[in-house]
Amino acid sequence: MFKDSQIYVAGHTGLLGSALVRKLKAKGYKNLITRTHDQLDLTDRRSVEDFFCSQKPEYVFLAAGKVGGILSNKTYPADYLHTNIAMQDNVFQAARKAQVKNLVFYGSSCSYPKESLQPVKEEYLLTGPIEQTSQAYATAKISGIIACRVYNEQYQTNCFIALIPASMYGPGDNYDLENSHVLSALIRRFHEAKVNNIPDITLWGSGKPQREFIFSEDVAEASIFAINNVDSMENHHYNIGTGIDYTIKNLARKIADTVGYKGNIFWDTNKSDGTLQKLLDSSKFMSLGWMPKIDLDEGLQTTYQIWQEERGK
C-alpha cells in the first residue's frame, strides 16, 4: 500500500475498524474511505456494487460484521448467519469486480472445533464440531475464510487475506452487559461496583478457564502488515494472537486492579465453565515478522482510561 492509496475501512465505527483508522492515519495513509452503517448497508448488494464502482478502493479492510455475546448469538442466530454472509458475499463480489488489490477479512476463533488441541493451529479448522451457541456466527465466518481461499484459487490472485484474531479488546469496545464479551463486561461490572461501593462481586464459573486477548490496535497493525507482506503469505488463513493466555480469575484480578475495585471477588462454581482453554497458535504469522506490541496490563489501562473519557467519567 502506498501512502496515497485509496483504502476503504468497512466498519470504521467499531472496535477493530476504529483501531484500523487510527493506525492507518498514524502511519501516514491519507486517502481513507469510510461509510457508516446508515450511509452504506453492506447487506444491500446493489448499494455495495455502486459504492465500489464509484469509489474504486484499492485496498479493503472488512471490519464490518455482526458481532455479539452468547445471549445475543443464542437469541438471533439467523441474523448472525444471514447478516455476516450477506456482507461478506456482497463485498467480496464487488471487490473482485472493482479489481481491488487486497482485501482483509476477519474470521473468528469460535470457528475452530470446540474440543481442539491447544494451541490451535490453522489446519485444525473443520476437524471437529464447533461450539453450539455461536454455531451460526461461526459458520458464516468459516464461509468467509473459505471464500478468501477459493476466490484466490479461482481468479489466480492473492487479493483475499483471511485473518483469525484472538478475542479483541480496546477503545470503542461494546460494554452492553447483554451483548458484550467477557473482558469489556468485567470492566463495566468492576467499575460500577467501585462507584457504587459494592463490597463484593460474584462471577460465573470457577475462574479456571484460560483465554487469550489481543489489543485491537495490534490486530490493526497485523492487518496492515499482512497487506504489505502479502507476497510472503500462503493461500490460507492466519491466526493473530499474542500466544499468551490468562485464567479468567487472573483476568478479573487485573481488571479489578486497573479499575481500582477493592472489594471481594467470589466465584459461583454452580455455573458452567465452558471450554477450558482457547489459545491460538500464531507462530505462522509471527514467522513473517509481525509481533504484538501491547501487553494485557497496558492494554487494559488504555482501554479503561478511554472508556472513562468517553463516558465523561
Ligand X SMILES: NC(=O)c1ccc[n+]([C@@H]2O[C@H](COP(=O)([O-])OP(=O)(O)OC[C@H]3O[C@@H](n4cnc5c(N)ncnc54)[C@H](OP(=O)(O)O)[C@@H]3O)[C@@H](O)[C@H]2O)c1
Active site residues: 137
For ligand X, the closer CB: 102 or 174: 174
Interface contacts to ligand X, rule CB under 6 A: 11, 13-17, 36-37, 41-43, 63-67, 83, 87, 106, 108, 165, 167-168, 174, 181
Residue nearest to ligand X (CB): 14
Q: How far is CA 143 from the centre of its chain?
A: 16
Tell the smallest beta-carbon distance from residue 207 to ligand X (Å): 20
Dump strand ranges (E) for the chain.
Answer: 6-10, 31-33, 59-62, 102-106, 160-165, 167-169, 200-204, 210-215, 238-240, 245-247, 264-268, 277-278
**Which residues, other chains included, contact 206 with Cβ-Cβ below 8 Å and sequence gap of 6+?**
249, 267, 269, 273
Distance CA 310, CA 304 (A): 10
Q: For 71, list phi and psi in degrees, rounded to 5.
A: -60, -45
For ligand X, the closer CB: 62 or 193: 62
Tell the smallest beta-carbon distance from residue 165 to ligand X (Å): 4
DSSP H or E segment with residue 92:
helix 77-97
**Which residues, other chains included, contact 149 with Cβ-Cβ below 8 Å and sequence gap of 6+?**
160, 162, 235, 236, 237
Tell the smallest beta-carbon distance from residue 212 to ligand X (Å): 10
Tell the smallest beta-carbon distance from residue 260 to ligand X (Å): 25
For ligand X, the closer CB: 108 or 242: 108
For ligand X, the closer CB: 175 or 204: 175
Tell the smallest beta-carbon distance from residue 163 to ligand X (Å): 8
For ligand X, the closer CB: 189 or 237: 237
Residue 151 CB coordination number (10 Å)? 20
